[in-house]
Amino acid sequence: MKIIQCTPEYASQILDIFNEAILHSTALYDYKPWTMDIMKVWFETKAQHGFPVIGIVNDEGVLMGFGSYGQFRVRPAYKYTIENSLYVHRDHRGKGLGKILLNEIIRHATNQNFHSIIAVIDASNEISIDLHRKAGFEQVGVFREVGYKFGRWLDAAFLQLNLNTPEAPEEGYSRER
């Protein structure tokens, strides 16, 4: 097992993991599977903003899970806040990979001088909520019935972890990571 920075060559494996989550869970509030065109834009956006795509591969180089983060909101005062996501392939759940990925997300966010990490998790996903809580996230709210999928209303839990970075935050439109 090895932690890697995923490049676009992992797009098809990430796409498989995303699409399994879309079709069979409420981990993503999407209805239709993503396409390779969507993945291309996803990777370009991550690269443009310096957001990592962290993966865990097995000894054969097969992606078992990945995590990343992106901009939380578009207003400039949110520039120190990100929203994380992580997904583990269905065949590799329950092996502690989520914990490894979440710790890597926190490490990267700290190194990039972000201050706050937000996790938006379907409120029925107790495993993901527990994973985040064990990493120090606090549940700060639940938005009731904000999603509709599989014939039912879905609640979204918001969890937050504040980091001790940056040492000297600044107002303005740009910042170095």
Phi, psi of 129 (to 5 degrees): -60, -45
Higher pLDDT, 22 or 74: 22
The CATH number of the structural domain formed by 2-162 is 3.40.630.30
Where do the domains of the chain lie?
2-162
Q: Which helix (H) or strand (E) holds 67?
A: strand 63-71
Closest CA to 86 of 56, 116, 45: 56
Residue 174 confidence class, pLDDT cut points 50, 70, 90 = low
pLDDT single digits (tens) 132-164: 999 999 999 999 999 999 999 999 999 999 999
Q: What is the mean pLDDT of the chain?
A: 96
Look up residue 171 and give its two tokens: 């107002």
Q: Which amino acid is at 50?
A: G
Cβ atoms 11, 40 nearer than 8 A = yes
**Exposure class string for 46-66: b at 16+ Cβ within 10 A, else e:** beeeebbbbbbbeeeeebbbb
Query: What are the pLDDT digits (tens) for 50-74?
Result: 999 999 999 999 999 999 999 999 8
